[in-house]
Amino acid sequence: MSQRQKLQPSADHPITIEPTKGRVVVKAGGKKIAETRKALSLRESTYPVVHYIPLADVDPSTIVRTDHETHCPYKGVASYHSIAVEGTNGENAIWMYEDPHEAVAQIKDHVAFYPDRVELIVIEEG
Q: Is 55 helix (H, G, I), strand (E, B) or coil?
A: helix
Question: Of 116, 103, 115, 101, which is closest to residue 50 (Cα–Cα)?
Answer: 115
Chain segment 7-45, per-residue pLDDT in tens: 999 999 999 999 999 999 999 999 999 999 999 999 999
The HSE-up count of residue 124 (CA atoms within 13 Å, CB side) is 1
Domains of the chain: 15-123 (2.170.150.40)
As to burial, measured by CB atoms within 10 angstroms (0-12 exposed, 13-18 middle, 19+ buried), residue 81 is: buried
pLDDT tier, 50 (very low <50, low <70, confident <90, very high otherwise): very high
Residue-level pLDDT at 76: 97
Q: 91: how many CB neighbours lie within 10 A of its CB?
A: 13
Distance separating alpha carbons of residues 124 and 27, to the nearest angstrom: 17
Residue-level pLDDT at 3: 72
Q: List the 50-54 sheet strands across, edge first.
A: 15-19, 40-44, 50-54, 110-113, 94-96, 76-83, 63-72
Residue-level pLDDT at 126: 62
Q: Give me the chain's average pLDDT, please.
A: 95
Residue-level pLDDT at 1: 46
Q: 90: how many CB neighbours lie within 10 A of its CB?
A: 23
Residue-level pLDDT at 124: 84
